[in-house]
Structure 1
Amino acid sequence: MADIALQPRIAKPQIREATRWDLIKTNRNWLGFWFMMPAMGFLIFFLAYPLGLGIWISFTDAKIGRPGQFIGVENYQWLWDDSIFWLSVFNTLLYTFIASAIKFAIGLYLALLLNENMPFKAMLRALVLIPFIVPTVLSALAFWWIFDSQFSIISWSLKHMGLITQNINFLGDTTWARICVIFANIWRGVPFVAITLLAGLQTVQPSLYEAATLDGASRWELFRYITYPLLTPIIAVVMTFSVLFTFTDFQLIWAMTRGGPVNATHLMATLSYQRAIIAGQLGEGAAISSAMIPFLLAAIMVSWFGLQRRKWQQGENND
Structure 2
Amino acid sequence: LDLLARENLPSIAIVPTFYLKVLAEMDLIIDLGGYLPSKLKKDIPEKFWDSVTVNGKIYGLPFIYTFPVFFINQNIIQSRGIPYTEEPANWDQIFNTLKRIKETTDKYGVYIPTESLYDYIEYVESYTDKRVYFKDRIDISSDSAIEAMDVLQKAIYELRYMPEKLTPEEAQNMFFSGKLAIILSDASNLVNFKSTIPYILGVWPLPFGKNTRPMLIGTSFVIINSSKRYENESYKVLEYLLKYENILRWYTHTGAPPIRNSIKESLELLVFYEENPNHLIITNEAEKADVFNPDFDYISYNKIVKKAIEEIIINEKSASLIMKKAQSELEALQK
* TM-score normalised over the length of structure 2: 0.23
Q: By percentage of residues, which structure has more helix?
A: 1
Q: Answer with 1 or 2: which has the greater Rg.
A: 1
**Higher relative CO (CA 8 A, sep ≥ 6), structure 1 or 2?**
2
Q: By percentage of residues, which structure has more strand?
A: 2
